[in-house]
Amino acid sequence: MITPQTIEQIKSRIDIIDIISDYVKLKKRGSNYLGLCPFHNEKTPSFTVSPSKELYKCFGCGKSGNAITFLMDHDKLSYVESLKWLAARYNIEIEETETSPEQKILAQTADSLYIINNYAKDFFENTLWNNDEGKEIALSYLKERGFRDETIKKFQLGYNPTEKNLLTQSLITHQFNKEL
């Protein structure tokens, strides 16, 4: 297990512009940077990176996070793999503590649950925007209440369809562990 001190050292050295610019051509706009989102196809840039906040946000698809979550989402790395990648990038020696088998299982479970939760978020967002039921029930309701598309995307709102177990079926189809 990577020590908390090493994790803090890695986090303090991260330059989000340096990391993301390896994947996205960024142009400076005011205090932020703008580019085409690497998570969906688009012609007009909606992917914004804030160096002062060390965060990114796509106003097209709703993906957001920091440099660590960017690597996790884009390169399909675990949290620990992302930290190790960043440590190598910034020449930081990784100090690790001995982990018990139970700690390893807990860490793997936490990584898996993060990935599943992110998948569920994407599933519900997709259902809201691209499913007839989601559009007719939830999206129309949100718009009646005065929510704009930008607000709905910013807060990553989604819709759980009335047909039971659609998320579970999708998770199984995409080979997620049934036990989790």
Domain locations in the chain as residue ranges: 4-89, 101-173
- The Cα 68–Cα 77 span in angstroms is 9
- The Cα 131–Cα 7 span in angstroms is 41
- The Cα 141–Cα 145 span in angstroms is 6
- Where does 101-173 sit in CATH, by number? 3.90.980.10
Which residue, 147, 14, 153, 154, is CA-closest to 83?
Answer: 14
Could you tell me the fold of the domain covering 4-89? Answer: DNA Primase; Chain A (3.90.580)
Task: Render pLDDT for 93-143 as a digit per residue (tens, 0 to 9).
Answer: 998 888 788 888 888 888 889 889 999 999 999 999 999 999 999 999 999
Task: Render pLDDT for 61-91 as a digit per residue (tens, 0 to 9).
Answer: 989 999 999 999 999 999 999 999 999 999 9
